[in-house]
Copies of this chain bind each other. A is one copy, B any other.
Amino acid sequence: MLQRIDKLRQTLKEKNIDAILVSNFYNILYLSGFKTLTENEREAWMLITARNTYLFSDNRYINDKSQITNNNSIINNKFLIYKLITPEKGLIKHLEEIFQEEGIKNCGVEADNLKLLEFQQLIKYFRETMFVPTEKLIIKQREIKDEDEIKKIKKACEIVDLCLKDILRLIEVEKTEKEIAFRIEFWLKEKNYDLAFYPIVAIDENSAVPHYDTRNGNNKKARSGSIILIDFGAKYQDYVSDITRMIFVGKPTDEQIDTYNKLLGAQTKTIKYLTNLASINLGGGRGKQVDQYCRQMVTENQLPNYQHSTGHGVGLEVHEYPKISPISEDRLLENQVVTIEPGVYFEEKWGIRIEDTVLVKKDGVETLTKFSKQLLNI
């Protein structure tokens, strides 16, 4: 955590900002290890100045020994000064005190997270401190994973591999989308892991909807001849993985076999391309190059282009940087973790997507989700 905060301080210095007020739930988790019950209810804030690191939270957490004992970064850890928010002394009063003590003249805010109303309240109260809207400072830092983060993501990838193996055995004809999603969820939770996001289980024509919502869908049943798309991820110690595999019930049609193999070719070639990009041209490769390459591999094979991005970073969140999209200028760098997930969709008929989570390394790329991509039929 200390290294992460030091890195952030460097960025602040470069930008001539005295301090930054952190509101984003995941950024707080990343910088302090502190996690509130809800993501969206502003139960914690952080302030990082040149001298100190402050964590603000209310009394609902003060007796929460679990946060203190389970997580050696909180309170008992010297780098963090804990400030209690009470009805009498809210965030603003605390900030006022600290700004005065440390002579803070300007303070960054996370413009991509802070609400307009919160910003208005800050600038209304503080006449002498300038609040500087910043964008993605910490989120961009989170692109590059440290050793501890990579270890956790690797484990989250191992977990989906194991889960898929068990789930496959459970899928027979006459299982519905929701039942399969439910099996995945309980497989994970039973073992004290969590879902990275609610699984997408899409059968037949539903697999042609790239963003199919299994929870609100029509809960199609797998029958003989069905095609099942399973897109899910595990969460291990706050870090996630992301994988998509296809399952064919009985014998797939020739068109499906052909499409699957072509798409698989495009996906594996793209991972290889990323390897070359990373090893030869490190620092030069950009998200849009990888996206373009993958689309080319798909369309060269007479398959239709897909409407979504080719991939995205993963970490504490399922969608992080770098983005691998047609317009992404994000650099591909060592120790990033990204997905490669092209798809082919035939509207109202069926769709196929193949997705892996991969780690970009100095000398290439390591595919972290190792579950077989051989055409699977049951």
Contacts and interface: CB of A to CB of B under 8 A. Distances in A.
Interface string A53-64: 000000111011
Interface string A106-124: 0001011111111110000
A30 to B, nearest CB: 16
Interface residues of A, number: 61
A40 B40 contact: yes
Interface centre among A112, A117, A326 (most CB of B within 10 A): A117
A192 B218 contact: no
Contacts of A64: 209, 211-213
Given A65-B218, A117-B133, A218-B66, A37 B213 contact: yes
A319 B38 CA distance: 11
Interface in A304-345: 307-308, 319, 326-327, 345
Interface stretch (A3-11, A181-189, A365-373): A181-189
Contacts of A295: none
A313 to B, nearest CB: 14
A210 interface: yes
A198 B38 CA distance: 9
A67 to B, nearest CB: 7
A363 interface: no
Interface in A37-56: 37-41
A224 interface: no
Nearest to A347: B63
Contacts of A38: 197
A70 interface: yes
A217 interface: yes
A108 B206 CA distance: 37
A41 B319 contact: yes
Interface in A230-269: none
A69 interface: yes
B59 A307 contact: yes
A211 B44 CA distance: 13
Given A37-B198, A194-B215, 18 more contacts: A38-B197, A63-B208, A63-B348, A66-B216, A70-B216, A70-B218, A71-B216, A87-B326, A111-B120, A112-B117, A114-B116, A115-B115, A116-B118, A116-B119, A116-B133, A117-B135, A182-B189, A185-B189
